[in-house]
Structures are given as C-alpha cells and as structure tokens.
C-alpha cells in the first residue's frame, strides 16, 4: 500500500492546497514519499510540471513511455528537456515479444480497425510499460487538468489508485490553459512545436490529429472512435472499467 500520508490526510486534499503556488504544492506532495514518480508525455502541462519539479522536488523520478510511435518532435523534446533542466528522464519501452505478438495478431496499425485492437495496442505500448514504471511507487504525479475535456472535468487533486496501490496526484487539476501558457512564457519552458500547429494534446503520431476551432482539447486523440470518453487506459478511474489488456 502507499507510504506517506494516508489519502484522508493527504496534503493534496487540505483546504490550503488550492491556494498554494505550484512549487509549494509539489514540495508538499513529495515530502515523506519514498518513491514518487511523475509520468510525462512531454505535453505542455507535463513540461510545466517538469520545470517545477526540477526546482521543488528533484527526488521525484521523471519517466516517459517511449511507445515506438511518438512524433519525432516529441522524441527531440525529451533530449532538449533533459538538457534544459539538467535532469534524466527514464524511458520505458514496450516488451519486444509482446509487441511482436500484437503486430502478428492485429497488424502494425490494426488499432484503426476496432476498439479492441486499439486497447490492445495501448496496453502493450503504454499500460504495461507504465506498470513497470510505477512498480513500488507510493505517489504518482500526473499533468491531468479538468479543462482538458468533458471526461476530465471532475479530476481531483488526489485520489487513491487502488489497483496500483498508490496515491495519484494531479497538481494541475485546477489550472486553466491560460495558466499553463503564462507559466511556460514566464519560465522559458521548452514545449513541443506541434502545439503551435493545432495539437493541444499530443500522443502517438498515428493516433493524434490537429483539432478544429471549438473542439475539445483532446478531440484529436483517437478521433475515429465514437466514445466521447475515450482514453488509453492510463488514467481510467477505479470506478470505471479498464480497457482489456492485450491479447496474449
């Protein structure tokens, strides 16, 4: 079970937390944790957290899931971010045998054909590496924001992830897109050039498109699917069913 504060006394649930500057929030969150992990997709929210963690809580491990299908711009940004903040970002990659089994069964781009195939691809390329990244972690920090989509409107500052036996903290839950942009400008934070080309949310290249004016920030993710709450399974709340894991 998680070490550090219990969820009912977690600092992220205290009344003062909402009024704290980000650096203070992160320092408080990380204090007393033995193995705090921040997972970054190198999106703009995650770049804000990386910048703030490098000052507030350098003991927090920063990890990314190198799915094998990322944009070249995202891969370049990993190296640029390490250099800018003097940090090392841990890369977690898919298991080669599991990936080969997925490709054999569904085809490399089989995720366009069915939701089942898409979940199977996300399981091999993201969920399984994530499970390894979070092994033994007592705190998982994410860059989720309530304003990113209707499905994320209820994102709390902290919650128990019972399946992973840890506390999941979302210190940017109440930040707006304007807050994010202001922080980036004020702190010279490097960001993915794709954001300026209409991609507010950036995942794997074949599964991400630019959005149109008025669309949800996450409308460009798996745009061919109809489910309005579509996610890759990384951030499915305990009360919601998780996507099926990849077929064996």
- Binding residue for ligand SF4 (CB under 6 A) from 98, 118, 152, 168? 118
Contacts for 110 with CB less than 8 Å, ≥ 6 apart = 102, 103, 117, 120, 121
**166 beta partners:** 161
- The answer to the question of residue 130 lying near ligand SF4 (CB under 6 A) is no
Q: Binding segment for ligand SF4 among 71-79, 166-174, 175-183, 203-211 (CB under 6 A)?
A: 203-211
Chosen residue from 61, 98, 126, 168 binding ligand SF4 by CB under 6 A: 126
The verdict on whether 232 is a catalytic residue reads yes
- Least Å distance between CB 112 and ligand SF4? 9
Nearer to ligand SF4, 203 or 220 (CB): 203
Q: Which is nearer to ligand SF4, 33 or 69 (CB)?
A: 69
Of the pair 20, 236, the CB lying nearest ligand SF4 is at 236
**Of 125, 145, 168, 218, which lies in the binding site for ligand SF4, with binding defined by CB under 6 A?**
125
Q: Is 232 an interacting residue with respect to ligand SF4 (CB under 6 A)?
A: yes
Nearer to ligand SF4, 10 or 128 (CB): 128
CB-nearer residue toward ligand SF4: 61 or 125: 125
For ligand SF4, how many residues bind (rule: CB under 6 A)?
Answer: 13
Which residues 42-81 are close enough to bind ligand SF4 by CB under 6 A? 67, 69
Q: Determine which one of 121, 204, 207, 232 is catalytic.
A: 232
- Whole-number Cα distances in Å, 89 to 60, 82, 161, 223: 11, 7, 23, 29
Residue of the chain from 121, 130, 167, 191 that contacts ligand SF4 (CB under 6 A): 121
Binding residue for ligand SF4 (CB under 6 A) from 49, 122, 169, 211? 122
- Structure tokens that stand for 213 in this block: 């004016």
Give me the least distance between CB of 35 and ligand SF4, in Å please: 25
Residue 208 φ then ψ, to 5°: -135, 130
Q: What does the chain look like in DSSP terms, one character per residue?
A: ---SS-GGG-GGGSGGGGGS-HHHHHHHHHTT-SSEEEE----HHHHHHHHHHHHH-TTSEEEEE--S-B-HHHHHHHHHHHHHHT--PEEE---HHHHHHHHHHH-TTGGGT-HHHHHHHHIIIIIHHHHHHTTT-SEEE----GGG-GGGTT--SEEEETTTTEEEE-TTTT--HHHHHHHHHHHT----GGGGGT-SS--BGGGB-PPPTTS-TTTTBSTT---TT---STT--TTSPPPPPPP-
Give yes or no for residue 204 binding ligand SF4 (CB under 6 A). Answer: yes
**Residues with catalytic function:** 232
Residues of this chain that interact with ligand SF4 (CB under 6 A) are 67, 69, 111, 118, 121-122, 125-126, 203-204, 206-207, 232
């Amino acid at each position: 079970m998680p070490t550090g504060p219990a969820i009912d006394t977690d600092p992220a649930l205290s009344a003062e937390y909402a009024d704290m500057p980000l650096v203070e929030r992160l320092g408080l969150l990380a204090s007393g944790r033995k193995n705090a992990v921040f997972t970054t997709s190198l999106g703009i929210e995650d770049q804000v957290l990386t910048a703030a963690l490098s000052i507030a809580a350098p003991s927090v491990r920063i990890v990314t899931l190198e799915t094998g299908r990322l944009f070249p711009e995202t891969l370049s940004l990993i190296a640029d971010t390490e250099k800018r903040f003097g940090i090392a970002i841990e890369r977690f990659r898919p298991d080669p045998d599991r990936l080969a089994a997925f490709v054999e069964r569904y085809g490399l781009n089989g995720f366009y054909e069915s939701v089942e195939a898409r979940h199977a691809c996300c399981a091999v390329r993201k969920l399984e590496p994530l499970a390894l990244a979070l092994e033994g972690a007592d705190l998982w920090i994410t860059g989720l924001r309530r304003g990113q989509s209707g499905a994320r409107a209820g994102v709390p500052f902290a919650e128990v992830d019972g399946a992973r036996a840890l506390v999941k903290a979302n210190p940017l839950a109440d930040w707006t897109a304007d807050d994010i942009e202001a922080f980036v400008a004020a702190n010279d934070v490097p960001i993915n050039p794709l954001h300026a080309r209409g991609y507010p949310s950036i995942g794997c290249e074949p599964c991400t498109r630019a959005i149109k004016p008025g669309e949800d920030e996450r409308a460009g993710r798996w745009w061919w699917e109809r489910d309005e709450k579509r996610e890759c399974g990384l951030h499915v709340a305990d009360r919601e069913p998780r996507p099926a894991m990849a077929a064996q």
